[in-house]
Structure 1
Amino acid sequence: MQRRTFLQGLAAAAVAAPAATLLGQQEAVAAANYYVATTEQTKNKVLVFPKNKAFTDANVHWSFTPGGGAWANLSDVKIRATEAQGWIALVAASGGKAGIVDIGSEKHTEGNDLKWSATPGGNPHAIERVPGNGSVIVASSDGKLTLYAPTSVGNLGSLKQVQTVDYAGAHGVLWDPTFQLLWVIGKNRFSHYAVMGSGRNTRLKYAAHFSLGSGNLGHDLQPDYTNKHKMLMTATKGVYELLTDGGTFRSRKISSETKVKSYVKHSSGEVVSIRGDGTQPRDWANKTVRFSQSPDRARSGAQFYKARIWTTAFE
């Protein structure tokens, strides 16, 4: 494994943070050479690349290799910040596992770098952590949300299952810090929940459901980093914006393109997406990550399922 010093880690964090956060408005556009985190299912790795370089082994910025078994088919990765541990990666795998990886000390991480893991089962597709509370929620597409809560916010290793909530087709989950709500997307609907209590008494409390229409399985739920009052959703019948301005929650369709499995907008305005190519052995994946304002990036033999902006920001 390749070690990095603490100062190198700080430098990487500074480069990876959203451009508008670190730079003045005049420099933000020029700083759009950001990093993209992907779940690649052929070799079953989280692979992070600089957007403006080829997606080759030589250009990998960070990686996580969990192994196989219940870690097969990595389905989600999110980058989050903690006060106690610094940067972490939240990961979920369709084989049944979910976990938290320590980012700070190594470039190429493996299973022994997991700070915590669990087996929620049911084809886990997405994972999120609630800041200030420390709880973790896993969405499993077979129809449930699994809530894990710690004894204290900073104690990642103490996370333990405290609640299961039925949710048909659960595929995406995302925390909204503006309204302090947990958003979920699944079969024919998207919803939000309040996170109540603390420690092992934390619980999800249903708040509201919103329709996507019949026969419309939701796939992904991600930020629009240009607007804190927008989230982006993909589903069987297209791509949608979730609008939250004024506290009035509603959605609108922005594309009728089908098979879009991953869709996020960088602070520069560029959209990063993955569309299932319909070929076996994983017809939901693609060797190419698409960019709306830059050349697409393909990796021979790869099957990318999700692409995320390498940032700890929720919005």
Structure 2
Amino acid sequence: MEMNRRTLIKSALAVGAVTPAALWFGEQSAEASASYGVAVCEQYRNQIQIYNSATAWSKPQWVWAPGGGGWSNLSDVKFRSTASFGEVALVAASGGNIGIVDKASSGTQGTGSLLWHASPGGNPHAIERIPDVGAIVAACTGGAVHVYAPTAVSRPSTLALVQTISYAGAHGVWYDDVHGRLWVIGQGRATSYAVSGTYRATRLTGGVDVSIGASNLGHSLDASYSDRDILLATHTTGVVAIDKATHKVTTVHGNHAVKSFSQDVSGESFWVQATGVKYHGDSRDWVNPDVQFFSSAGAKSFTRGLSYGAEFYKARLHNVNFH
């Protein structure tokens, strides 16, 4: 674990904020040295899909396809373990909806596997579950963070809105199980909140801000599964590592328009970077037909895409753990 962290941070220091080191752009092997699940928000077919990193992507291992309307433009997915339902998928869509999917019972099409859903509006871009209390937190780019809390942890149907926090450019949210704090990222900052209360009394309190540069719009938050001490964040002009304890921010990549960035326990990582190109004649210039993978040393290694020309918005490690 410590070796992977040193590799990440050393590479970050070499990269700098504007001109990445050549290491990040040197092509290495054409295949993954590790095997892990990758969950993608694929907006052309509007599906959450899971593939294996080590093989070409043809048939997904798991698919959830909710249709359109409030579920259009799926924007986030996380997988979490629950005592009552086993593994669930937390999903958000720019169409206005958020929800909890019973992963085991979900079919390819439709929303029948939803255990709960809400429509906060405001372009939901991220969703997270706070363990033990079962609360759901959604970040909406319209400028708000919404907290939903239950009357019983084992009954998602009892979730109700209990708190709304004004947060400019809210785009990402992640729970830090090391320190028991909920992180949000948006315009110019990331913020760590304490979690107080239980059930319907659950609240986010005592926000502590970390600057990511006033002109940068924070986009995603994700874990480094090779280092529990940091969170990985993307913003307008780069990818950064945030030390959970000291709040020190270190640049990992100095590249613009990275929508999500994840790191496996092996040290391999991957991102989705917006190309600015519209695919299939639609308006989505915020997507990419490929997911770019990096070796544990930080060099570009290989890409994965789909035969029909996917429109990937985010890609995350398929892992139920918070760290």
Do both proteins adopt the same fold according to a TM-score greater than 0.5, normalized to the shorter chain?
yes
**What pairs with 1:38-77 in structure 2 (closer than 5 Å)?**
38-56=40-58, 59-77=59-77
Q: CA deviation at 1:142?
A: 1.0
1:307 correspondence with 2:315: yes
**Inter-partner Cα distance in structure 2 for 1:108 and 1:34:** 22
Aligned partner (choices 272, 278, 296) of residue 274 of structure 1: 272
Q: What secondary structure does 2:319 align onto?
A: coil
Q: What secondary structure does 1:157 align onto?
A: helix
For 1:91, the equivalent position in structure 2 comes to: 91
Are 2:57 and 2:305, in contact at CA under 8 Å, matched by a contact in 1? yes
Letter in 1 for 2:270: V
CA displacement, residues 49-96 of structure 1 (integer Å, 9 cap, x when unaligned): 11122222xx21111111101111000000000001100000000010
Q: CA deviation at 1:295?
A: 2.4
**Inter-partner Cα distance in structure 2 for 1:32 and 1:153:** 36
Distance 1:31 1:149, change over 3 A: farther
For 2:187, the equivalent position in structure 1 comes to: 187
Instruction: State the number of aligned residues.
Output: 282
Q: CA deviation at 1:301?
A: 2.3
Letter in 2 for 1:286: N
**What pairs with 1:145-294 in structure 2 (closer than 5 Å)?**
145-244=145-244, 247-280=245-278, 281-293=283-295, 294=301
Q: CA deviation at 1:106?
A: 4.4
1:297 correspondence with 2:299: no
**Inter-partner Cα distance in structure 1 for 2:141 and 2:106:** 32
- Listed as ranges, the gaps of 5+ residues in structure 2 are 1-31, 296-300
Q: CA deviation at 1:164?
A: 0.5
For 2:38, the equivalent position in structure 1 comes to: 36
TM-score normalised by structure 2 residue count: 0.85
Distance 1:109 1:176, change over 3 A: farther
- Listed as ranges, the gaps of 5+ residues in structure 1 are 1-29
**Inter-partner Cα distance in structure 2 for 1:254 and 1:60:** 30
Distance 1:37 1:85, change over 3 A: same
Are 2:273 and 2:287, in contact at CA under 8 Å, matched by a contact in 1? yes
Higher mean C-alpha displacement, 206-215 vs 77-86: 206-215
Q: CA deviation at 1:174?
A: 0.3
**Inter-partner Cα distance in structure 1 for 2:251 and 2:109:** 38
For 2:23, the equivalent position in structure 1 comes to: none
Q: CA deviation at 1:108?
A: 2.7
Distance 1:192 1:211, change over 3 A: same
Distance 1:31 1:254, change over 3 A: closer
**Inter-partner Cα distance in structure 1 for 2:109 and 2:134:** 23
Higher mean C-alpha displacement, 274-283 vs 125-134: 274-283
Q: What secondary structure does 2:302 align onto?
A: coil
Distance 1:31 1:52, change over 3 A: closer
**Inter-partner Cα distance in structure 2 for 1:69 and 1:111:** 12
TM-score normalised by structure 1 residue count: 0.87
Q: CA deviation at 1:107?
A: 5.8
Q: CA deviation at 1:105?
A: 3.0
Are 1:62 and 1:107, in contact at CA under 8 Å, matched by a contact in 2? no
**Inter-partner Cα distance in structure 2 for 1:295 and 1:301:** 17
Moved over 6 A (4+): none
Letter in 2 for 1:88: V
Letter in 1 for 2:253: S
**Inter-partner Cα distance in structure 2 for 1:42 and 1:31:** 29
Letter in 1 for 2:302: P
**Inter-partner Cα distance in structure 2 for 1:65 and 1:107:** 8
Identity of aligned residues (%): 43
